[in-house]
Structure 1
Amino acid sequence: MSLAYPVREYISLRRSISELRAEKARVEAEKQALLARDRQSDDPNWIKKTAKERLHYCGPGEKCYVVMEPEQPERQSAVKQPAAVPPWYETLWESVEAADKGTGRRAVTGRESVGQ
């Protein structure tokens, strides 16, 4: 009975040591990745390549072209758009006005109809 507490503490400490070792390995791997990225940024060819990709940099004497995507409205005009359903509050207000006037008009939202 007297050994239960020390054994439990020993097991707990071993578990925390293994967790700390795993965290140390993860941090070390992250450190190595950052060091590799730092070494890569010293390479002039990598700097030129990155400037061309990210900033669309064009060096002296080079001819650079940018390919533009066709505009979206041209493609959408060929496809027939369905009639727009008015917002629910517009339909509600129209039904209130119709009830006020006593016209008995029914407003339809597409899902349900609002009273007379």
Structure 2
Amino acid sequence: MCAIALSLAYPVREYIAQRQEIADLQHKQAVAREQVDELAQHKRRLSDRSYIEREARRRLHYCMPDEKCYIVLDGGDGTGRTPAAGGPANRPPWYETLWRSVETADRDR
């Protein structure tokens, strides 16, 4: 009886380990499918011209040639709230930093 139990212990253990591995792989596959769906949705958004224009206006402060745009510099972060006193200093937009580095490089020449 003990010999039969010992001879079956290894195959049963391997079966359980394989079932666990299959469950893990199925979970990883489901996560990967969700990521693919999210990326496909993002790709569809990027093919929409109005989405691209909206993002250019929001992120880069881009204005269309026939528009007149204004940027209000009130020290806020665009949410209508004022920054807390003693908080971290606001960083300038990336294009201001780029332009300052270009000006500094021109002066150093």
Query: By the TM > 0.5 criterion, same fold?
Result: yes
Identity value in percent: 42
User: Quick one: which amino acid aligns to residue 74 of structure 2?
Assistant: E
Structure 2 residue corresponding to 1:57, chosen from 59, 62, 72: 62
Q: Are residue 13 (structure 1) and residue 18 (structure 2) matched?
A: yes
Q: What SS does structure 2 have at the residue aligned with 1:2?
A: helix
Q: TM-score, normalised by structure 2?
A: 0.62
RMSD: 1.7
Q: Are residue 68 (structure 1) and residue 48 (structure 2) matched?
A: no
Structure 1 residue corresponding to 2:36, chosen from 31, 49, 68: 31
> Residues 35-55 of structure 1: CA distance to partner in whole angstroms, max 9, x if unpaired?
110011000100100110011
Q: Tell me how many residue pairs correspond in the alignment.
A: 72
Higher helix proportion (structure 1 or 2): 2
Write out the 4+ residue segments of structure 1 that deviate beyond 4 Å after TM superposition. Answer: none
> Residues 35-89 of structure 1: CA distance to partner in whole angstroms, max 9, x if unpaired?
110011000100100110011000122111111125xxxx99xxxxxxxxxxxxx
Q: TM-score, normalised by structure 1?
A: 0.59
List gaps (5 residues or longer) in structure 1.
Answer: 77-116
List gaps (5 residues or longer) in structure 2.
Answer: 1-5, 76-84, 87-109
Q: Are residue 22 (structure 1) and residue 22 (structure 2) matched?
A: no
